Amino acid sequence: MRLWQLIALTILTHSAFNGSRMLMSLFAIHLHASPFTIGALMSSYSLLPMLFAVGAGRLIDRIGSRWPMFGGGLAVTLGIVLPFALPRIETLFAASTLIGTGFMVFHVAVNQVVGELGRAEDRAMNFSWLALGFSTSASLGPFMTGLAIDSIGHVQTFLLLSVFTLPPLVALWLNRPALPRAKVRKTSTAGHRVMDLLQTRELRRVIIASGLLSMGWDLYTFVIPIHGSRIGLSASSIGVILGTFALATFTVRLVMPLLVRRVTEWHTITAALLIAAATFSLFPVFTSVPLLIALSFVLGIGLGCAQPMVMALLYSSSPPGRQGEAVGVRTTVIHLSSTLLPLVFGALGAALGMGPVFWSMAALLGATGYVVNRQTGGR
């Protein structure tokens, strides 16, 4: 199997997933949903992944990645088609739960495959290429979704997004590219506990830092459509702002394969936390599209540079044969914050406006960056 083939499948599936998140928010706003309802809707993307990510990782460790990727992609497809068939707010909750759970399984499986490819010293570079693929789809999804909403409407855009998931399903069904088979396990997984993984200090630190970075990423995706709608921006403008963030992650990840051997993992992660804190604090101050685009680009640079380093550290810090489970633990932490934060910040936004939401996130990221830098010494 070649890495670029796996990345191509990921780009198509993630484009549909990422576009659906923006589409769900804007369609809910179109249906006159409150910020709290939209927060609950975004939380439903993460509820079941929070509960089942570790189990999915253990399953992938045992049986390999092909069928979990196929099943996850099929769930994403069905979830996106559902609002097209039944365009109601109640349907959006069922659809977002299905899409979020399906993509969680797909995502854990993809990372497991990439971690197994090549030599250990190439792992950070391989994850950088995968992250570059995610950036491509993260830019494509919102940009295409915003244009489609303005052109053909919300409901028809759901059908358009579902088309992107079909080629990966066909390829996985035919096993093209051929994915690596699961490695033989010498011990049963029955005695394995999550706390055993978290006793490893380096792995625990990686999971906490990556959870905070993903929290900032998810909150940005949640609040920008609401903030943009409140200040009177069109769906296309919001899509361009979100797409600029993704373009920035693409730009920084394009050069990451050249930098992975010149910068340290923890130095990169600390810088990402502090850059994100600074940009979040400025979002409520500006309402013009060019300035929001500039802030989104800087935030994308900060958050985008950390992902390859996080995944390389996560894989190298995990016990042999439990890398999928470790990715599942990280995914659980991420989805726990993704479930709770939209509810908390949605309620905060409804009561006090979006300014306190941005500033609270900035304070949390800045404090975490300071603590991480103290504990790791920037290494």
Q: What amino acid is encoded at 127 in this protein?
A: F
d(CA 180, CA 242): 35
Instruction: Report pLDDT for 181.
Output: 66
Tell me the DSSP string of 3-23. HHHHHHHHHHHHHHHHHHHHH
The structural domains of the chain, ordered by start, are 3-178+196-376 (1.20.1250.20)
Displacement of CA 311 from its chain's centroid (Å): 13
CB 316 within 8 A of CB 219: no
CB 108 within 8 A of CB 324: yes
Residue 304 burial (CB count, 10 A) = 28
> 3-class SS at 65?
coil
Q: Tell me what the pLDDT averaged over the chain comes to.
A: 83
Instruction: Report pLDDT for 167.
Output: 94
Q: In 3D, which of 136, 181, 161 has the Cα closest to residue 8?
A: 136
CA distances from 128 to 111, 124, 308 (A): 11, 6, 5
d(CA 225, CA 233): 9
Instruction: Report pLDDT for 66.
Output: 85
* Structure-token pair, residue 354: 């979006």
List, in sequence order, the alpha helices (H) in 117-180: 123-152, 154-164, 166-173
Q: In 3D, which of 159, 139, 354 has the Cα closest to residue 239?
A: 139
45 secondary structure, DSSP code: T
Would the pTM of this model clear 0.85, i.e. be above it? no
- Based on the number of CB atoms within 10 Å of its own CB, is 67 exposed (0-12), middle (13-18) or buried (19 or more)? middle
Q: What does the pLDDT profile of the chain (379 residues) look like in tens digits?
A: 578 888 999 999 999 999 998 899 889 988 888 878 887 888 888 888 888 888 888 888 888 888 899 999 999 999 999 999 999 999 999 999 999 999 999 998 998 888 777 676 777 788 888 888 887 887 788 888 989 998 999 999 999 999 999 999 999 998 876 776 665 454 445 556 777 777 777 787 888 888 888 888 878 877 888 888 888 888 788 888 887 887 888 888 888 877 777 777 788 888 888 999 999 999 888 888 899 999 999 999 988 888 788 887 887 777 777 777 888 888 887 777 767 776 777 777 777 777 888 888 888 888 888 877 776 665 5
> What's the chain's length in residues?
379
Helix (DSSP H) and strand (DSSP E) numbers for the chain: 15, 0
d(CA 168, CA 10): 8
End-to-end CA distance of the chain: 34
d(CA 233, CA 159): 24
Q: Which residues contact 64 (CB under 8 A, 6 or more apart)?
A: 179, 180, 181, 182
